[in-house]
A and B are shown apart, each in its own frame.
Chain A
Amino acid sequence: MKQHPYWLKKRLDFNEGFLKTKAILKRFGVNTVCESSRCPNSVECFSKNFATFLILGTRCTRSCRYCSVRSGIPQPPDIEEPRKVSDSVVEMGLKYAVITSVTRDDLPDGGSSQFVKVVEAIRMKAPHIKIELLVPDFAGKLEEAQKTAQSRPEVFGHNLETVQRLFTYLRPKADYRRSLELLKSVKDKNSALITKSGIMLGLGEKEEEVVETMGDLREGGCDLLTLGQYLRPSADNVPVVEYVPPDEFKKYREMGMSMGFKHVSSGPFVRSSYFAEESYNELMEVSYGKCRVAAAC
């Protein structure tokens, strides 16, 4: 294993909370993207009692070259999953839950109904919990994306992951314009809904391409942006082309804010759900004052 640049060094934040979180996830039999992606933040997040739920199984019908989620023929959706996820969310004492999924091209609705059921199950048990959805592209079926948006999550996310030029190579079954259209379409139909997207850096993109991507997202009204360093999950995935220094991330953050994003999280260890709750709360504080309801009065 090679050494990483100094900015990819982190202190190991391991405590009892990690074991507690693991035990809850195991007890309810739910999956996390933290584990599937071998996320370097996972021990820190679990220790802080946070995890990002991965629904609709652990097998993906896509095979993006940067992703360590296993591809293959997935199992049918688990009808108990909404209960299991909502029980876990409550048991973990979360105030903010992030739900994502593998891509299910095999399902007629792409899995949208399962997203909706999970949101409904959480709302039923704990209506105060804020929910962020990070959805797949539903193979371009905008009506399915709209269904998940109508379940009224606090944040609706869909990641571009990379710049347009690299889609063909890195995401052969995905489409840059289709993903942009999904975000725009959801925003057009639900103007109050906060939309979010994320890009990984270090995959060979050029600065002007990153800026262009940010501009494309803003054209679709995207509110929140995350930018993080791509880190190779295993030897089966594409290698890192470049380790982007912290100053570059800072520059992109400033650019993003000047382009009109309401919040930009940008840094080597940033992932779309890393400190998602804090990002959301910061946005609410800046945009609406401490209480969104009060600001609306």
Chain B
Amino acid sequence: MANVVLPPLAEGVDKANVSYWHRSIGDAVKEGEDLVELVTDKATFNMPSPLSGKLKEILVNDGEEAKVGQVLATIE
């Protein structure tokens, strides 16, 4: 199992809002495919899945805020 961690989105920015999960719990995910949409003050980012597997848990839901380094989800 691997953690999906919020990476840095922009220099000097330490948090983002999760705006949309492209996949639901239990879905198969592929490395490089859009996994989650993240919003900062300046822009919206689509974060690709870091690996292939099954989305096991979503720890930060749509509309919630996360800090850089925080675990957003787990993939097995």
Contacts and interface: CB of A to CB of B under 8 A. Distances in A.
Of the four ranges (under 10, 10 to 19, 20 to 34, 35 or more), the interface on chain A belongs to: 20 to 34
B17 to A, nearest CB: 5
Nearest to B35: A12
Contacts of B44: 3-4, 8-10
Interface stretch (A156-164, A228-236, A289-297): A228-236
Contacts of B42: 38-40, 231-233
A46 interface: yes
A231 B41 CA distance: 8
Contacts of A4: 39, 43-44
Nearest to B19: A3
Interface of B: 7-13, 16-17, 19, 34, 37-48
Given A11-B46, A11-B48, A38-B13, A233 B41 contact: yes
Interface string A23-44: 0000000001011111111110
8 contacts: A1-B41, A2-B39, A3-B19, A8-B44, A12-B38, A38-B11, A38-B41, A231-B41
Nearest to B38: A12
Contacts of A12: 7, 9, 38, 45-48
Contacts of A36: 12
